[in-house]
A and B are shown apart, each in its own frame.
Chain A
C-alpha cells in the first residue's frame, strides 16, 4: 500500500474532558464504580433541536464528534466516511427488543429499529454533510475501529483526498450487567484511578466516540502521521512477539526509537500476560490508558486520539498520568498496543509531524 496518512483534524467524547477546552489543564475524572460514562457536550451546538429529540445517546455522541472533527480539520464534505462500532446503538436495540415483547409485536414505532442499525451514525453524518461518497461501517469487536482505519488507508492510497474515520460505542446499565455475567468486569468495585493496583479477573467498562480527518498530505495543523497498522487475530504469544519485531523492522524502527508506548493493559488477570510482549522494551516509556476511558471494543480510537494529542502538544497530560514524573526527552514516535479480551490485537505506529 502506497502513500501517507496524516491526522488533520480530530475530536473525542470520552469519560474525560476531551471534547473542548485546554486538554493539558483538565483534571482526571475519577469514577467510583466499574462503569465509566462519557462527559457529554452540549449537542445543540451541532445538531438541530428537532433531530436531537429523536436521537439516542450514541447517535448524538457519534454525530457530534464527527462534526467537531470536520470543523477541526476545516473540511465540510469529506471524501469518504468510515466508522467502527462494536455494539452500535444499544439503547435502541434494547428498546426495540422490549417493545416487541411489551406490545406483542403490534403497532411498533420504527425509530428504535432504524437507529439500531449499525450504520445509522454513518447515514446521519452523510445526510447532514451531504456527503455522497464511499460510506462503510465495521462491526467486529476489537477490530471495528481498526478496520475502519485500514479501509481509510486503502482509500487514501487509492486517491481519495481525505477520509473521515471514527468509532463510537456506549455502555448501558443493562449491557454492563450482561457482560458482567461472562466475566468482563471486576467483581470488586474500584475507581478508575486505582485500576492498575487491582490486578484480578475482569476490568472496568467504558465508552466513547472519536473521529479523525485523515489526509494523504500534511497540513499546517497536522496532529501526527500514522506510520503503521497491524491487526492480529487470536495470535499465540510467540507469534505476537515476532510480529511486533517485524512490524517495527519493516518501518526501520528499533525499540529505542520508540519514545512512548500506549498500552491497553487493563488489570484483567485473564488476558494481561499478552503485555509481557513489551517487557523487552524500556519500561519508562510505557503508559497504560484504560484508566481514562475504560475498556470497550473501540477503545483503540481513544488511544489514537490520545497519542496524536501527545505528539501535537509534545507533552504527556500530567493530570491524566500522575505516574509520569518527568516528560520524555523526545516525543517523536509513539507505538500503541491494544487487545480486546485477548482476541483482537492491534499495533499502531504514530510519528510527530516533523
Chain B
C-alpha cells in the first residue's frame, strides 16, 4: 500500500499577512485584505477592489533577502518569501539532506513586470535593461528562481490550470510521493496582480465593484488577489525518520473535468460534485465525516450556484459548515488552492471555522447558507478545500487531523 502523505510545514504571504501567523491573526480578527490597488497601473485603480500584498516589489525583495539582485519579479518574490517560511516551518535546516521536489503553480508567470516593458521588449528600435525581463515571460522562470534560491534538488515543474493550479500542484506532489518517486515535495503556487488578469476577468464581467459577497443573493463577481503559499509534503517514513511534527494528513484528492463550457460551470455543479466525492472516497470519508468545506466561492454568479448545488447534492440537509475565504484574500488564482489548503490546515490545528465575510441574504437557488461567524473550539477533523478553474478544471482536496 502506498505511504500516507503528511503536511509538515506551511508558508504564505497574502493581502492579510506576510506569513502564516499574520494570516491567522487577520482571519481571527475578521479583517479583509480588500482595498484599492496602490501599486498596479490601471484605469480601474479606484474602481475595482483587489487584495494586494501591502509591500512594494522592492520591499518584497528585501524581505526575501535578495535585495539588489536582478531578475526577481513580484511573482517570484512572493513565492520565495512563502517558500522560505515553509522550509523553516518544517524544521528543515539543510534541503540537500533529502531529495526535495518543487511543484509550483502559476497562471501568467512574470506578467506583473513584463506587461510594463512588453512593448519595449518587442520593439526592434528599442534597447535597454528591460531585456532582462524576457526570461520572466513564461511560468517556469519564477519556479526556477525560487528553486535555485533555496537549493531544490528533486523534481521541479510548474502547473497551470487557471484557478485550480496550486490544488493540482499539491495533488501531483502527493502522487509522486505515493508512487515512491520522492519522499519530500513542496507544492503550492504564486500569483501577483497584473493588468492582464484584471482586464481579463473584467472583460468577462466577472469582477464586482464592491468587496465580493460569496454565496449572497446580491453577489456580482470576484475580486482578484495576490500572494503565494507552499506546503511541505513528506512521506510517512521520512516524517518518522526525522521525527518531524505533523500538521495534517493529506488524505484525499480528486481532479475532474466538467466538459461543459470553457469558462462556466454546469448549473448543477457536476464537476464540483464529482471532485468533492472523489476526494472524500479516496480518504475513506462519508459525508457525515466532514466538518468544514473551504469552498471555491468566488462570488461569481455561476460559481456559487454550481458549487452550492454540488454541496446540496453531496451533503443534503446535513451540509457541514462552509465558507469562502476569498473576501479576505481576494481570488489569488494560481495561489488560491495553496492559500486555502493552508487555511484548512489552520482550521484543523486550531479547531476553527472561518467566517464567510460580506454575506447578508440567502441565494434563491439554494437552501444552504455559509457560516458567517468565526467559530472557535469547533471540532474539525476533516476539511474539504475546493478550487475550480477555466477549462472545466475542478479540484478538491481532503485534509485531515493527524491522529497517529
> Is B one of A's binding partners?
yes
Query: Which residues of chain A have C-beta atoms less than 8 A from B262's C-beta?
Result: 114, 120, 123-124, 127
- Inter-subunit contact B196/A117 (CB<8 Å): no
- Inter-subunit contact B204/A110 (CB<8 Å): yes
Q: Assuming A113-B203, A134-B255, A154-B179, is B157 touching A119 (CB within 8 A)?
A: no
Query: Which residues of chain A have C-beta atoms less than 8 A from B134's C-beta?
Result: 178-179, 181-182
- Inter-subunit contact B139/A140 (CB<8 Å): yes
- Inter-subunit contact A119/B391 (CB<8 Å): yes
- Inter-subunit contact B175/A158 (CB<8 Å): yes
- Inter-subunit contact B161/A122 (CB<8 Å): yes
Please provide the chain B residues from 161 to 187 with a CB less than 8 Å away from any CB of chain A in the complex.
161-162, 168, 172, 175-176, 179-181
A→B interface (CB under 8 Å): 1, 81, 86-88, 96-97, 100-101, 104-106, 108-110, 113-114, 116-120, 122-124, 126-127, 129-141, 143-144, 147, 151, 154, 157-158, 174, 177-179, 181-182, 231, 233-234, 343
- Inter-subunit contact A132/B270 (CB<8 Å): yes
A-B contact count (CB 8 A): 172
Please give me the residue from chain A that is nearest to B134 by CB atom: A182
Query: Which residues of chain A have C-beta atoms less than 8 A from B147's C-beta?
Result: 233
User: Among B43, B44, B159, B261, which residue has its beta carbon within 8 angstroms of that of A136?
Assistant: B159
Query: Which residues of chain A have C-beta atoms less than 8 A from B202's C-beta?
Result: 105, 108
7 contacts between A and B (CB under 8 A): A119-B390, A124-B391, A129-B259, A132-B274, A138-B158, A143-B140, A233-B156
Q: Assuming A135-B161, A140-B140, A140-B157, is B259 touching A126 (CB within 8 A)?
A: yes
User: Among A108, A132, A154, A343, which residue has its beta carbon within 8 angstroms of that of B271?
Assistant: A132
**How many B residues touch A, CB cutoff 8 Å?**
62
Q: Is B121 an interface residue (CB 8 A)?
A: yes
Q: Assuming A119-B160, A120-B391, A139-B138, is B200 touching A113 (CB within 8 A)?
A: yes
B254 shortest CB reach to chain A, Å = 8
Q: Is B223 an interface residue (CB 8 A)?
A: no
- Inter-subunit contact B156/A104 (CB<8 Å): no
CA distance A256 to B199 in the complex (A): 57
Query: Which residues of chain B have C-beta atoms less than 8 A from A144's C-beta?
Result: 157
CA distance A134 to B155 in the complex (A): 21
Q: Assuming A105-B42, A113-B199, A127-B261, is B115 touching A97 (CB within 8 A)?
A: yes
Q: Which 9 A-B pairs have the closest CB atoms?
A: A123-B391, A113-B200, A118-B160, A110-B203, A108-B203, A139-B139, A140-B158, A139-B160, A135-B257
A187 shortest CB reach to chain B, Å = 14
CA distance A247 to B291 in the complex (A): 46
Q: Is B301 an interface residue (CB 8 A)?
A: no
- Inter-subunit contact A96/B200 (CB<8 Å): yes
- Inter-subunit contact A139/B259 (CB<8 Å): no
- Inter-subunit contact A114/B390 (CB<8 Å): yes
CA distance A343 to B145 in the complex (A): 12
Query: Which residues of chain A have C-beta atoms less than 8 A from B137's C-beta?
Result: 178
Query: Which residues of chain B have C-beta atoms less than 8 A from A126's C-beta?
Result: 257-259, 391-392
CA distance A110 to B207 in the complex (A): 13
Q: Is B107 an interface residue (CB 8 A)?
A: yes
B126 shortest CB reach to chain A, Å = 10
